[in-house]
Structure 1
Amino acid sequence: MQENELKRGIGMMAALSTVMGTVIGAGVFFKTASVVNSTHSFTLTVLAWIVGGLLTICAGLTVSELAAAIPKTGGAIKYLDYTYGPLTGFSMGWAQILVYYPANIAAEAIIFSTQLINLFHLNPGILNYMAVFVALSVLAINFLGSKVSGNVQTIALICKLIPIFLIAIFGLFIPGAVHVSFLPISPSNHANLWTAFGSGLLATMFAYDGWIGVCDVAGEIKNPKKNLPKAIIIGLSLIMIIYTLVNIAFLKTLPLEHIAGNQNTASEAAIKLFGEFGGKLVTIGILVSVYGSLNGYTLSGMRIPYAMGKSKSLPFSSWFTKLSKKTAVPYTSGIFQLVIAILMIMAGSFDLLTDMLVFVMWIFNCLLFIAVFKLRFQEPDMIRPYKVPWYPVVPIVALVGGIFILIETLLTQTNLALIGILLTLIGIPVYYLQQRHLKHRA
């Protein structure tokens, strides 16, 4: 099973950087509007971010057991393949190709364009066209090669940390323009408390998305029994604290009614905190951060159809595996991904797209949590360099939280959930048709 014998060269600090660098993105700046729009409560908003962080920690600790025991290139797809069979692994890859990466690209391009329009007071009518141009520009950068796109990621990582820490620190210590109180807990719009909290929690999940990325390097971490849970607990706890502080800063700076549904919350709060010029500089930092996130999803996403094409899992596999001559970039996969993203830009909004991708991915996350129980029962002698701590409590918390997210989405955004399920299920006949095609060719 451990045929590739990955070299364990990643230390504690490198693992911690991987966790934080993968998770921290645009969500912390732009999901506040959606969380507050759901909760209409200071307390419920803060609780949603804390509970979202705790759920993410449990999820990361759980799936890392699979990652350490099944250290195969391909990450979660391979864990599902090993536990449930190739159709399940293929279905996750299909969902990533058709929903997860294109929806992320579309959502990030939309939010980047929204902020650019707000910063320079442009005509809002050009939003979709600008979003398409932004997504196209990132793909063009990736066509220049992985070195160039990698440099963009490095610059963006630095830039995204600056506005986060500035807003968190200044927002915490500067007296707020808005009086905040933990009481009363109930939503100010008289909505049902549990429904409001559930919708708010769902909205935070996009900001915490990316936690599964550390699992891809679990097989290369030194002393995984000690360092892997440390990196996940410390890294995600720090992210949870940062996210909570940033949101408290927003809530202290702008009234609840102004934040609810307002995707310019981050830039407006920055202007309130640092003045017109300073606020614009922070907003530019946020824009660079979003552009970096968009680059990261483009960089990673275009390699999924390429990898599936290499294994002949997709129809027209030879087309998906084409590489550019000079830079060896899977350009056809990139173009395919961009086309789907453009369709999503034209059809959806930032919140709609992010909620759909979160819903679809959490279907597979729940299968991964169940896989931990399944393999513990079926293969008790499997070599597990790392075991999830406090078993079975942590996996149960992750699974219950995941099921809650799925049910909440189905109840509150039924059409969106059904579209996500339909797009995923389309992969099943595609899988069987491709398998039949391969048998006929053999």
Structure 2
Amino acid sequence: MNKEKYGLLTAISMIVGIVIGSGIFFKADDILSAVEGNVILAILAIVTGGLIMLFGAYSVSFIAGKNVKSSVLIDYVELGYGKRVAYYVGLFASVVYFPSLVSIVSYVSANYTIALFHMDSNDVWLLSFIYLLLSYVFNYVSPLLAGYFQVSTMMIKLIPVALVFIFGLIYGQTSGTLYENLSSSSMASGGGGFALALLSTAFLYDGWIVSTSINSEIKNPKKNMPKALVIGSTIVILAYVGYYAGLFGVLNVDEFLFHQDQSVFIAVERLFGQISSRFLMVFVVISCIGTLNGLSLASIRGLYQVYARFNEKTKMINVSQSNGMPKTSFMFSMAASLVYLAVFYGNELDLYNGVFDLAELSVGFLYLVYAMIYIYIIRHEKSLSKIKRFIFPIGALIGSGFILFATTMKYGFWMFLSFNFVILLIGYVVKKHYRLTFKEEM
């Protein structure tokens, strides 16, 4: 694959662009519902989730540029636990994590597009399918253009976030809505507690590790990747806290829970009027598409990064001569995302006797991998200062423990665990069948 295609701004934009853009617009009602409408607890969950991300990103930044191969997520599991463990982590990331996120963000992008243009709501799944295909094809055919698009959408998506923050707080002060939300609690049912609210914030903040999928393609990665992780994470936290404070100044809790994913439309229209709100909602849709673009960019590289570590030249590492992109990995990741989109559609058909949120479970389960990386830093990075080696990684490790606990409480956890066991078993069979051996230098 082509080396050093992206600069610091692209790496930062991947973090900001992937994290901000989908969850920020449709997870507020989930967080509020989990804490039974308690706005103070909801804000506390948002801040706590942000601190977990910041501690984790800062910890990983200490090692992100040291051994540049392909992905920090796989590279440092390999460094601390061996090639075989890294292989299975890579399989989970490339077969479950990335494709499932691509599918759900395709749906979110389509859902907001339908609402923006008053289209037939029955067309949302067809549009999701179209968005998913286009995002993969775009990133495969023109990876450089896709990178530039990622930078542009980062700038665009900050516009509605900043405007809601500023004008939402002003509106909340004059109308008293913000004070009302902070001083009262809705009687909404369905709770689940602070733990499930924290799991929803994990989805909000998910994506910072995705930028490491282009680690070996970043210019001067030892210097730029740590900067990107810290700067991007800080921007995200400030944006989230400000944005949700603005929303809580416009809508009361019961309105949030009633309108659910459409709450952002109601809030923006109340702030800026119908015509202006339609204009701003265009930016919301673009920001969601930007998130989809960044996830597809990372997903395409998934299996390539796993199987490029073997001596045998498997089909998974076939690279296009025209654009330097992995061909088979591209086709597999796109097919997997389509399968997961069908799984999400099963929720609408009530096939699982409950909401099987595959994407949120994937995000929560990934914190087990994060914990492994933090433990590696604590055990082996002796050259770091005590604060960098112990304080931040231990803080991140504790946060990961909370997220993992919340994941076990999520509906469908055991079904998800069984599904992952099957995926890893297939990976084991494939490795044995082709007698794949790892490169010595890896």
Q: Above 0.5 in TM-score?
A: yes
Residue 339 of structure 1 pairs with residue 335 of structure 2: yes
Aligned to 1:173: 170
* TM-superposed deviation, 1:101: 1.0
- Correspondences of 1:419-430 after superposition (within 5 Å): 419-430=415-426
Contact kept? 2:104, 2:341, Cα under 8 Å: yes
* TM-superposed deviation, 1:18: 6.4
SS at match of 1:263: helix
Aligned to 1:300: 298
- Counterpart of 1:76, as a letter, is L
Q: Mean alpha-carbon deviation: is it higher for 20-29 or for 96-105?
A: 20-29
The Cα offsets for residues 298-350 of structure 1, whole Å up to 9 and x where unpaired, read as: 11111111233333499xx7333334454343343222212221221122269
Aligned to 1:357: 362
Residue 375 of structure 1 pairs with residue 391 of structure 2: no
Which one of 237, 245, 253 corresponds to residue 250 of structure 2? 253
Within 1, Cα distance between the matches of 2:423 and 2:91?
6
Contact kept? 2:33, 2:188, Cα under 8 Å: no
Residue 113 of structure 1 pairs with residue 110 of structure 2: yes
Aligned to 1:276: 274
Contact kept? 2:10, 2:147, Cα under 8 Å: no
Residue 63 of structure 1 pairs with residue 63 of structure 2: no
Residue 220 of structure 1 pairs with residue 217 of structure 2: no
Aligned to 1:3: none
Q: Cα distance 1:91–1:420, how it changes in 2: closer, same or farther (>3 A)?
A: farther
Contact kept? 1:91, 1:424, Cα under 8 Å: no
Within 2, Cα distance between the matches of 1:441 and 1:248?
52
Which one of 73, 88, 95 corresponds to residue 92 of structure 2? 95
- Correspondences of 1:3-18 after superposition (within 5 Å): none
Within 1, Cα distance between the matches of 2:339 and 2:10?
37
- Counterpart of 1:129, as a letter, is L
Aligned to 1:53: 50
Task: Structure 1: state its 5+ residue gaps.
Answer: 1-5
Residue 140 of structure 1 pairs with residue 137 of structure 2: yes
SS at match of 1:67: coil
Aligned to 2:350: none
Q: Cα distance 1:219–1:209, how it changes in 2: closer, same or farther (>3 A)?
A: farther
In the alignment of these two chains, the number of paired residues is 418
Within 2, Cα distance between the matches of 1:22 and 1:57?
15
Within 1, Cα distance between the matches of 2:369 and 2:305?
19
* TM-superposed deviation, 1:232: 5.2
* TM-superposed deviation, 1:109: 0.6
Contact kept? 2:18, 2:292, Cα under 8 Å: no
Within 2, Cα distance between the matches of 1:32 and 1:313?
47
TM-score (norm 1): 0.83
Residue 161 of structure 1 pairs with residue 175 of structure 2: no
- Correspondences of 1:236-247 after superposition (within 5 Å): 236-247=233-244
Within 1, Cα distance between the matches of 2:252 and 2:200?
19
Q: Cα distance 1:297–1:440, how it changes in 2: closer, same or farther (>3 A)?
A: closer
Q: Matched residues, percent identical?
A: 23
Aligned to 2:404: 406
Contact kept? 2:17, 2:150, Cα under 8 Å: no
Contact kept? 1:102, 1:340, Cα under 8 Å: yes
- Correspondences of 1:25-40 after superposition (within 5 Å): 25-39=21-35, 40=37
Contact kept? 2:16, 2:154, Cα under 8 Å: no
Q: Cα distance 1:159–1:271, how it changes in 2: closer, same or farther (>3 A)?
A: same
Contact kept? 1:34, 1:351, Cα under 8 Å: no
Within 2, Cα distance between the matches of 1:133 and 1:60?
33
Contact kept? 2:100, 2:340, Cα under 8 Å: yes
SS at match of 2:261: coil
Q: Could you say what the CA RMSD is over the residues aligned between the two structures, in angstroms?
A: 3.3
Within 1, Cα distance between the matches of 2:47 and 2:437?
53
- Counterpart of 1:243, as a letter, is Y
Q: Cα distance 1:185–1:44, how it changes in 2: closer, same or farther (>3 A)?
A: farther
Within 1, Cα distance between the matches of 2:97 and 2:311?
18
SS at match of 2:357: helix
Contact kept? 2:304, 2:317, Cα under 8 Å: yes
* TM-superposed deviation, 1:431: 4.3
Within 2, Cα distance between the matches of 1:59 and 1:440?
33
Aligned to 1:83: 80
Q: Cα distance 1:123–1:299, how it changes in 2: closer, same or farther (>3 A)?
A: same
Q: Cα distance 1:191–1:347, how it changes in 2: closer, same or farther (>3 A)?
A: closer
The Cα offsets for residues 60-119 of structure 1, whole Å up to 9 and x where unpaired, read as: 122233335544432220101111111221112111122111111111111111111212
Residue 24 of structure 1 pairs with residue 17 of structure 2: no
